[in-house]
A and B are shown apart, each in its own frame.
Chain A
Amino acid sequence: MNVQEVRRRFPILDQEVNGHPLVYLDSAATSQKPQSVIDALDDYYRRYNSNVHRGVHTLGSLATDAYEGAREKARRFIGADSVEEIVFLRGTTTAINLVAQSYGRSNVGEGDEIVITPMEHHSNIIPWQQLAKATGAELKYIPLQPDGTLSMEDVEKTITDRTKIVSVMHVSNVLGTINPIREIADCAHKHGAVMVVDGAQSVPHMKVDVKELGADFFAFSGHKMCGPTGIGVLYGRKALLNGMEPVEFGGEMIDFVDLYDATWKELPWKFEGGTPLIAGAVGLGAAIDFLEEVGLDEIEQHEKKLADYAMEQLSKIDGVTVYGPEHRAGIVTFNADDVHPHDLATVLDSEGVAVRAGHHCAQPLMKWLDVTATARASFYLYNTEADVDAFVSSLHTAKEYFGDVFS
């Protein structure tokens, strides 16, 4: 993988911010988009914008082909058996909510258990809190090891025969932890529970096969993988999706409609009420093409190298604490003594370096780390070692700038 060539495909990277070349280290929040994705959206709106699944006219067919073509790309990308198992939704949050509201409400009852972890993103906590409250089920947490990983011993102890749903993130958006989904899924299945996986931080960065992972449901978002905002995927095993009721009702998702009753379309359309996310799906399809062209294994290797390099550089700076395990994805979350993450992010931004500061939508994890906020640098295929150097140099600037305050 030639990173300079990759960079040239992302027009946004070629700019200065506050008088410095942009160093974008916030891809875990949202990734940048290559020209091919921007072109795919532009082409759709310029050439064949039309509603899908209904028009007899030519543009309608082109739009339907592109929309359903993107579904096939998504299916292949994550190794699903059938396009019926690929539901286009707004993003990971919507996907997990659909599982909680549809599968959850029909299959979880009082005395049952839902098992998650304290490292989850709010989008994989709150839908389950709500489900637990509505059904009288118990929400249980698999505790974290001191380095922010899960031990299979704890997994085995937490999941019981009363557990109906286990939902765990594949890769932590804060710690970079890569969770042993296959082992957790095996344990869930042994007890008759379904395995839900939040793949928002894995699908963009590594080869994912939902069947190898043992996922019954798997959710991810387009905008974190070079695609547009407002499009995401819920994968669900066909047998499970077939048994589930839609949560949104209206146009597009119906079969027959009577005055007092209606029946639903087949999978996956019964979950896609309203005019679907056509442009988003087309953009996601282009993003998948792009990522496959570069190669997911190469992307993963590249990010791992950058994260290792960043960790090595950070370890040389006094007073910097990095959170999470040694073996990690391309996410480095840290704090610098005496400099609050917001102040740090402001100083970095003044030198063109974009990082995230705050709780990263993981307040329970912040509590576990015993901090109110952290700073996070996250890497993607277009980042370079020079980006890490600029980041580390800005970190020195911040420490010097604020160092005087407390000396």
Chain B
Amino acid sequence: MSSANHLDTLYRQVIMDHYKNPRNRGEVEGDKLKIDMNNPTCGDRIQLQMKVEDGKIADAKFNGEGCSISLSSASMMTQAVKGLPVEEALRMSDLFSDMMLGKDIDTSGLDLGDIEALQGVTKFPARIKCATLAWKAMEQGLNEEENA
């Protein structure tokens, strides 16, 4: 495989689109959960903000600094979980973890949308932590909310 082809399995067009035009970048209005998450090995950091109402994620936005993979993943994640019941968002996060581990995943009933483009990250083990950063923030926020 030429290096450009090899790179294309990671940097799919839809990923680069989310990197260039991140969705849901900014701040959630009103009462919200705020989760700061960083990747201590590389310095990437994001703040995820979520509004949970009636067991659903009413809004999700993020701010932060990082590479194309971590920021596009945050963009896709916020897009996918907005409007989802908390349980489904957590299930999606589990599926995403499995996807990063290269496992076969059962997506029935869940629309991963653009997220499937991140499958190529599994071929680049050093970048998996970039892809999972925003998801970990989401999980941590929702788990804290449930336990509150």
- On whether A346 and B10 interact (CB within 8 A), knowing A358-B43, A372-B65, the answer reads yes
The CA-CA distance from A349 to B45 in the complex, in Å, is 23
Q: Which of B2, B10, B42, B65 contacts A357 (CB 8 A)?
A: B42
Query: Known contacts being A358-B43, A366-B43, A373-B44, is A342 close to B7, with CB within 8 Å?
Result: no
Q: Judge whether A401 is part of the interface by a CB distance below 8 angstroms.
A: yes
Q: Do residues A18 and B67 form an inter-chain contact, with CB atoms below 8 A? A: no
Contacting A at CB under 8 A, from B2-21, are 2-4, 6-7, 10-11, 16, 19-20
The verdict on B69 contacting chain A, using a C-beta distance below 8 Å, is yes
Task: Determine whether A341 belongs to the interface, using a CB cutoff of 8 Å to chain B.
Answer: yes
Q: Report whether B127 and A346 are in contact in the complex, using a CB–CB cutoff of 8 Å.
A: yes
A342 & B67 in contact (Cβ 8 Å cutoff): yes
B42 & A359 in contact (Cβ 8 Å cutoff): yes
Asked whether A405 lies within 8 Å of B44 as measured between CB atoms, the reply is no
Partner of A373, one of B2, B11, B42, B124: B42
A369 to chain B, nearest CB (A): 11
Name A400's closest neighbour in chain B (CB-CB): B4
B66 at the interface (CB under 8 A from A): yes
Contacting pair A343 B44 (CB below 8 A): no
B86 contacts A by Cβ under 8 Å = no
B142 at the interface (CB under 8 A from A): no
The answer to whether B68 and A340 have CB atoms under 8 Å apart is yes
Q: Quick one: closest B residue to A352, CB to CB?
A: B3
Residues of B within 8 Å of A343, CB to CB, are 11, 67-69
Interface string of B16-31 (1 = CB under 8 A from A): 1001100000000000
Which of B1, B10, B67, B124 lies in contact with A19, CB distance below 8 A? B1
**Contact B3 A406, beta carbon cutoff 8 Å:** no
Given contacts A372-B45, A373-B44, contact A401 B127 (CB under 8 A): no
Residues in B with CB closer than 8 Å to A350 are 3, 6-7
A372 neighbours in B (Cβ, 8 Å): 43-45, 65-66
**B66 and A340 within 8 A (CB):** yes
Q: Are B11 and A401 in contact (CB under 8 A)?
A: yes
B-contacting residues, A283-326, CB 8 Å: none
Interface size class of A (residues with CB under 8 A): 20 to 34
Binary contact readout B39-72 vs A (1 if CB under 8 angstroms, 0 otherwise): 0011111000000000000000000011111100
In the bound complex, what is the Cα–Cα distance between A372 and B70 (angstroms)? Answer: 14
B68 near A401 with CB under 8 A, answer: no
What's the Cα separation between A358 and B39 when bound, in Å? 10
Q: Determine the residue in chain B with the shortest Cβ distance to A407.
A: B20
Residues of chain B within 8 A (CB-CB) of A402 are: 68
- Counting contact residues on chain B (CB < 8 A from A), the size range is 20 to 34
Q: Which of B19, B42, B69 contacts A358 (CB 8 A)?
A: B42
Q: Tell whether, in the assembled complex, residue B42 and residue A342 are in contact, meaning their CB atoms are under 8 Å apart.
A: yes
Question: Which B residues touch A359, using CB under 8 A?
Answer: 42-43
Contact with B along A340-371 (1 / 0, CB 8 A): 11110011011100000111000100100000
Report yes or no: A340 in contact with B20, Cβ–Cβ below 8 A: no
Q: How far is the CB of A405 from chain B (nearest CB, A)?
A: 5
A18 touches B3 (CB 8 A): yes
CB distance from B123 to the nearest CB of A (A): 11
Name the A residues within 8 Å of B4 (CB-CB).
397, 401
Asked if residues B16 and A342 are in contact (CB atoms below 8 Å), the reply is no
Give A369-405 interface residues, CB cut-off 8 Å to B.
Answer: 372-373, 397, 401-402, 405
The CA-CA distance from A254 to B45 in the complex, in Å, is: 47
What's the Cα separation between A143 and B107 when bound, in Å?
Answer: 54
Docked Cα-Cα span, A397 to B2, in Å, equals: 12
Instruction: Pick the most buried of A18, A342, A363, A397: most chain B CB atoms within 10 A of its CB.
Output: A342
Q: Does A20 contact B (CB under 8 A)?
A: yes
A341: chain B residues within 8 A (beta carbon): 67
Choice from A346, A358, A397 contacting B124 with Cβ under 8 Å: A346
Sample of 16 more A-B contacts, CB < 8 Å, known A18-B6, A343-B11, A343-B69? A340-B68, A342-B42, A342-B68, A342-B127, A342-B130, A347-B3, A349-B126, A350-B7, A351-B3, A358-B41, A363-B43, A372-B43, A372-B45, A373-B43, A401-B7, A406-B20
Q: What are 6 A-B contacts defined by CB distance under 8 Å?
A: A358-B41, A358-B43, A366-B43, A372-B44, A401-B7, A406-B20
8 smallest CB-CB distances across A and B, nearest first, come from A342-B67, A340-B67, A358-B42, A359-B43, A350-B3, A373-B43, A372-B43, A372-B65
